[in-house]
Amino acid sequence: MRYDAGEVITAMVTPFNDKREVDYDKVEFLANYLVNNGSDAVLVTGTTGEAPTLSYDEELEILSSAKRAVTNKGKVIMGTGSNSTETAVMTAKRAEKEGADAILTVVPYYNKPSQAGMIEHFSAVAEAVELPIILYNIPSRTGVNMSVETVKTLAKKYKNIVALKQSYGDIDTITELKMSCPSDFAIYSGDDSLTLPMLSVGAHGVISVASHLFGTEIKSMIRNFKTGDAATAGNMHRKLYPIFKKLFMAPNPVPVKAALAYKDIIQEYVRRPLVELTKAEKADLFFTLDAI
């Protein structure tokens, strides 16, 4: 593998206080908590981290806070994607300068580039930094799907494009990616409920939301599958499946922040235009959480 960020990467929420300001002490606390509870790495300032509502200065301070907390216990990956290639390049350079271990960069959203446009976009980022780069394909948010051929082209051309986060539930696509891309190119599930199915056709691990709460269990599921105990892995998948789905009962990261507040780990606050769960929604979520 050209770069191994681990099997369980938590797409970390950004803790806010009741004024919806970044709570940097809680950033440190949460990052440390995660790497002590099953996470091999934390991904900050991604979608789950509410990156669209963060300033550049906030993003860099979150990165620094997470790095201080994690030290040598795990890696810190920074989400640096943008629908502007110039901005994506600038943010990647800043992440490299500030000590990120790797970056995650998403397919440009809203402007819906062609496959050729995606190749130019990601090529510009790859040529601007030496950091390991994880591509991020999430058609439900970007409006376009990155093709197998595009991923293959980028993975073969750039050694620092090391992995793909695939948030598109098509197992055939994972099979085609494994058949087309270099053998040392890693594929991560971007959806907790698809982790085990994707592992079965060659995925390396998961960039997870549920690992905020069940990181050790998700890690054991992956380890059991890879060491040949598919039955135990399947049992864990089925045990966690209800919470995998409930954590997306409202726009991410609203439910997981509510669950973390319920566990007294951080406060539940999100930035507008997101809103916190209603009392009825919380009752539904917490019932599922308590049943596991």
- Whether 193 and 245 have beta carbons less than 8 Å apart is answered as yes
Q: How does pLDDT run along the chain (292 residues), one tens digit per residue? A: 889 999 999 999 999 999 999 999 999 999 999 999 999 999 999 999 999 999 999 999 999 999 999 999 999 999 999 999 999 999 999 999 999 999 999 999 999 999 999 999 999 999 999 999 999 999 999 999 999 999 999 999 999 999 999 998 899 999 999 999 999 999 999 999 999 999 999 999 999 999 999 999 999 999 999 999 999 999 999 999 999 999 999 999 999 999 999 999 999 999 999 999 999 999 999 999 999 9
**Would residue 179 count as lying in a domain?**
yes
Domain span including residue 78: 8-233
Q: Is 136 a catalytic residue?
A: yes
**Would residue 158 count as lying in a domain?**
yes
Name the β-bridge partners of 161.
133
Report how far residue 45's alpha carbon sits from residue 243's, in angstroms, rounded to the nearest whole number.
Answer: 23
What pLDDT digit, counting tens, does each position of 222-269 carry?
999 999 999 999 999 999 999 999 999 999 999 999 999 999 999 999
Cα 55-61-62 angle, rounded to 5 deg: 90
**Would residue 62 count as lying in a domain?**
yes
Q: Which helix (H) or strand (E) holds 103?
A: strand 102-106
**Would residue 190 count as lying in a domain?**
yes
CATH no. for residue 227?
A: 3.20.20.70
Supply the DSSP string of 58-101, one letter for each residue: HHHHHHHHHHHHHTTSSEEEEE---SSHHHHHHHHHHHHHTT-S
Specify the DSSP class assigned to residue 193. Answer: G
Q: Is 165 a catalytic residue?
A: yes
**Would residue 46 count as lying in a domain?**
yes
Report how far residue 40's alpha carbon sits from residue 8's, in angstroms, rounded to the nearest whole number.
Answer: 5
Which of 46, 43, 30, 38 lies closest to 8, judged by CA? Answer: 38
User: What's the structural domain count of the chain?
Assistant: 1
Cα 102-131-188 angle, rounded to 5 deg: 45
No. of helices (H) and no. of strands (E), the chain? 12, 8
What pLDDT score does 1 carry? Answer: 83
**Would residue 246 count as lying in a domain?**
no
Catalytic residue among 3, 24, 33, 136: 136
**Would residue 133 count as lying in a domain?**
yes
**Would residue 276 count as lying in a domain?**
no
Catalytic residue among 165, 219, 246, 257: 165
